[in-house]
Structure 1
Amino acid sequence: MPASTSNPLIRALAAGLLILASAGCASNTVVSPSAPDESVLAPAEQALAKARAAEADTFAPRVVDASRRRIATARDILYSAARANRELSDTERARVEALVEAAELDARSALTQTQAKAVQTKLAELQGQLDGSGAAQTEASP
């Protein structure tokens, strides 16, 4: 047998290196964070979906965007805590709640603005019809 493999010191070093190498591999394992509970975002997401279904993207795009940004920021806070594998702090929880409330209000505002534009459009249409029929009556009676 060669001298290098029969030496107890070399065997001990080799065993130590093997242990360190396997420990190093084990510490490199990625632990996936738990998924955060996004149910807190639901009221704002539902209000935004309702506004978008009423075409608020067309009639109130800035307010819709504000709502989306607030929801995205709240979601980022939730996922940031999840990536760190921890619960939300009281400050983070309060911030998420405030963002969700503001996003919901933005979405409701967008819906209201969209509905108001629809009413204005219909009113202008009816006014045009009335003006047209009134002009026809005026022309018919000399």
Structure 2
Amino acid sequence: MPASPPKPVLVLRSLLVVVAIALVAGCAGRTVATPSAPDESILAPAEQALAKARSAEAERFAPRAVDASRRRIATARDILFDAARSSRDLNATEQDRVERLVAAAELDARSALVQTQARAVQAKLAELQGQLGQGQSSQTQQGVSP
């Protein structure tokens, strides 16, 4: 006849099995609430203005304005997601702040676009002035007065 394990070992094994079953049952009964995704449509005007500025290479000619716009959009998005994680709508203060951030981000992006367009105009003007100057100097060299 095989020797049976001592009673304290049986009690410990039984206790471990019960604890394991309780843990599994407790986890199975719990549902994890996933935060709802916030409505980000309020960010659209600023995101569109930023996309337009970036497509015009504003990051190269007006990086500070582009970065300011990007930061404001990110801050507004953070406010939206914080409320969503808490499963609530924005309060009046948050709503006002998001609206102000979006408006400022849109202005930053438009400023970047205008700065970029101004640089493009300056470059074209310099090119035309160079061409005009070359034309005048060649006429002067040929003995033709302007």
TM-score range, shorter chain: 0.7 to 0.9
How many residue pairs align between the two structures? Answer: 126
> Does residue 1:101 correspond to 2:94, yes or no?
no
The match for 1:72 among 60, 71, 74 is 74
Gaps of 5+ in 1: 1-16
The 5 A counterparts of 1:107-118 are 107-118=109-120
Tell me what 2:143 maps to. 141
Deviations 1:70-94 (A, max 9, x none): 0000000000100011110100000
Q: CA deviation at 1:69?
A: 0.4
Residue 59 and residue 72 in structure 1: after superposition, are their counterparts in 2 closer, same or farther (change >3 A)? Answer: same
The runs of at least 4 aligned residues of structure 1 exceeding 6 Å deviation read none
Normalising by structure 1, we get a TM-score of 0.82
Gaps of 5+ in 2: 1-18
The match for 1:46 among 44, 48, 64 is 48
> Does residue 1:55 correspond to 2:46, yes or no?
no
Distance in 2, matches of 1:97 and 1:22, equals: 46
Distance in 2, matches of 1:43 and 1:86, equals: 24
Normalising by structure 2, we get a TM-score of 0.80
Q: CA deviation at 1:34?
A: 1.1
The match for 2:129 among 127, 130, 141 is 127
